[in-house]
Chain A
Amino acid sequence: MAGEKKRRSRRTSRVVNPRSLKVAGLIIAVQALLKVGVGSYNIVTSGRALGGLDPLGDLPMPTLTRVFILGVINILIGLVFFWVAVAALRRRPRAWVLGMSAQSVALVVSLVSYLRGNPDYLTMVLGAAAVFYLNLREVRQALMPAEVPTVEMADVEAA
């Protein structure tokens, strides 16, 4: 009896993720990987330059420091994106707001880079796509259940 109850409650809590939510999660995950990758590369290259093998390096010190700091920031943003991707796929309550906030920051950085003549088209494309997907009605329904109720597996089965 107790086992049946547990099975039923597990079944009722199963939630169908719409395809657009999965796509949004995937895009954000790719963004996260890219950011972590770029950040790691920055840290490794600046670290190698600072580490003694080539103490002076090809770059002057202030630029190296900047690259190092940029690398750390990129990794942090990447981690936030990663958290957002997982939270979105697991339908955590703050995923949508945090996702939109992170995308806004990323898009502002991309636009400023573009206006200063250093465009990063891949980041721009991924950022815009992620925002459009996050703004889709079914994604918002899935991530903000307080506004619109979601369709649960149990409801589908009952129907």
Chain B
Amino acid sequence: MNAAEKLALLRRYEPILRFTRGESFFPCAVDRYVAECGLYVQVPRRPVENLVTEGKLTLADLDEARDHGPRAVYFLKFIDPLNLAEMARYRLQQGIEDLRDRARRFSAGRARLARVGYSSRILDAIYTLTLLLRGRVPGDTAAAAALTYAKMQRVQEGYAYYGRVIEDAGWTILQYWFFYPYNNWRSGFHGVNDHEADWEMVTIYLAAERGRSLAPRWVAYASHDFSGDDLRRRWDDAELEKVDGHPVIYVGAGSHASYFVPGEYLTEIELPFMAPLVRVQESLQRFMAPPASGHAETAEPELPAVLNLMRIPFVDYARGDGVSLGPGLEKVWQAVLLDPVPAWVERYRGLWGLFVRDPVAGEDAPSGPMYNRDGSVRRAWADPLGWAGLDKVLPPTRLTPALRDEIRASSDTCRRMTREIVSKRRALQHLGLRLAAVEPIPFLTKEREKLRKEARARSRELSTLQVALARQRDTGEALRAMAERVRQGRMESPRTHLTRTHRPMPSMPRSMSVLADAWSSISISFMLLGLAALLIAHASYWVLWLVAIVVTLGLVEAGLRRQFQRYIGSLAMGLAVVTTLLLVGRFYTQIIAGVAIAAALYLMWEYVRELAS
């Protein structure tokens, strides 16, 4: 396949991206971004060094060999934060534009903290406070990036993707890489992080059927929360929306994560120091409610109720109610083929934006399409089949011959095992004959024992072989049934490979949303203020008072969530259990004595009755 054919193939299936209202950044050409950046290097325990100043950097500079030691981090810097006056002007301008054009304004809807419980809110408070201590992208950088990006678009409006075509194991793989100049999920949409530069990716897997041309079979969207089989959907899956043969992607606002279905997605992040507790809770959840044995089609939808209490929830808004981008639309793609792989992809292992030394790494910019942040090669780049769990799936043209081979191999194995069983059974029968002969002879005890032992071992071996043969026959039957289905053109359900899917959150009643939202925002602060008041007042029994405050806040929460009944039941049960434990601790000798007396009286009664009868 030559470059023109590859480009035509990429064009034929290029995706349509649907963004959420309020999105400021869209996929753009990297050369325009790099032209605005400077190149820097950070060597541990040394100040940051500027290698190429802003405005002078080109893609060619990125492939130059540089050696600042193995621990040096190379990174680009896209933007400087705004000063106070510039920031005020930007905010004012934004406010006026929002008022003029309400359709472009983003509204978060129900607050994310109102969608989850107390423990998650406490963790969220800790996470928010850690932002003050750990490295992060300054808040006004997003505004500066939005201004610069808007300026770039005013000069020349353009939307680009970088495409690859790979042929591997009978599959033709189309990879679409999207580069966003900035990820403003935290500052723009109450999300987890902000960082300069953002690489996202979508892969389409094509295969030919006998006598036909290439056709799409699977599509996979990159995701942080899923891996392997759960990343991909079959082309005929109802969940996958298509317009004139182009797959539709719903893009998360600010995060630019890809979703198959529009909606609001609750995603969880885990604080590193909470990891052991998270594992414990997951084990408990598995123990209390084991996962459904079926695949995702039959499994229960993932509701917030099963969220891990030790993780922090964030909402990713992928509503698809904003700008749309793609073939047949007002804004169309500019396709760039990564073939041969350009040097800026292959040789630059640094970060594509600001390096802020965030230990959680959420605020550091990502590396290019080929590399992870640590410089290792991305699996999605090196092994696109294995990345989406397709390395175990045959393309249609190879399916029938492979099935034929498997059926033949299975039949051969069955025949071989049958022969082996016949021979072993005959040997065992002969052994049994010898055993029967020596059984009544008293002076052949040792020989008899030896034969018995051998007969037992051979019988076990024969039994194992019989079981294996039965399984082999069942496998052969299953293969033949599959071959028949393939011959008739019947396909399996498109979702049998899925174990877990990401579903949008169910909508919540609007009537109580305002109060619940307000409460979710201030409840943790109330708790902290209560604790401070107790400490300042030197209250005696301050632990009891703290418990009383938490219980009262819980009551308000339960009332707002219409879960008062469940809350009061749990509270009363908790108190009853504590009371019972105290009583048992205080009266355990009397309780044991009482049980002993009762047992003694019962036994006496039973035995006397027996005697009397």
* B-binding residues in A (CB < 8 A): 96-97, 100-101, 103-104, 107-108, 110-112, 114-115, 119, 121, 124-125, 127-128, 131-132, 134-135, 144
Contacts and interface: CB of A to CB of B under 8 A. Distances in A.
Contacts of A97: 564-565, 568
Given A112-B544, A115-B541, A135-B573, A101 B568 contact: yes
Nearest to A102: B572
Q: Main secondary structure on chain B at its contact with chain A?
A: helix
Given A97-B568, A135-B569, A114 B582 contact: yes
B579 A107 contact: yes
Q: Which 4 A-B pairs have the closest CB atoms?
A: A131-B576, A107-B575, A100-B572, A128-B576
23 contacts: A96-B565, A97-B565, A100-B568, A100-B569, A100-B572, A101-B572, A104-B572, A107-B575, A107-B579, A111-B575, A111-B578, A111-B582, A112-B544, A121-B586, A121-B587, A125-B583, A127-B576, A128-B576, A128-B579, A131-B572, A131-B573, A135-B572, A135-B573
A103 B544 CA distance: 18
Interface residues of B, number: 18
A132 B576 CA distance: 7
B571 interface: yes
A103 B570 CA distance: 12
Contacts of A115: 541, 544
A111 B576 contact: no
A135 to B, nearest CB: 6
A108 B583 CA distance: 14
B580 interface: yes
Contacts of B571: 100, 104
Given A100-B572, A103-B572, A124-B582, 15 more contacts: A96-B565, A97-B564, A97-B565, A100-B569, A103-B575, A103-B576, A104-B571, A107-B579, A111-B575, A111-B578, A114-B582, A128-B580, A135-B569, A135-B573, A144-B565
A112 to B, nearest CB: 7
Contacts of A131: 572-573, 575-576
Given A124-B583, A125-B583, A108 B575 contact: yes
B465 to A, nearest CB: 51
B441 to A, nearest CB: 68
Of the candidates B569, B572, B578, B583, the one having the most CB atoms from chain A within 10 angstroms of its own CB is B572
Interface string B574-608: 01101110110011000000000000000000000
A156 to B, nearest CB: 28
Contacts of B582: 111, 114, 124
A149 B575 CA distance: 28
B564 to A, nearest CB: 7
A104 B583 contact: no
B559 to A, nearest CB: 12
A127 B565 contact: no
Nearest to A132: B576
Nearest to A147: B565
B290 to A, nearest CB: 22
B568 to A, nearest CB: 5
Contacts of A125: 583
Nearest to A106: B575
Nearest to A125: B583
A93 B580 CA distance: 28
A76 to B, nearest CB: 19
Contacts of A101: 568, 572
B357 to A, nearest CB: 49
A60 B580 CA distance: 36
Contacts of A103: 572, 575-576
B580 to A, nearest CB: 5
A111 B568 contact: no
A119 B565 CA distance: 29
A132 B580 CA distance: 10
Contacts of A114: 582
A103 B583 CA distance: 17
Contacts of B541: 115
A128 B584 CA distance: 12
Nearest to B568: A100
A100 B573 CA distance: 9
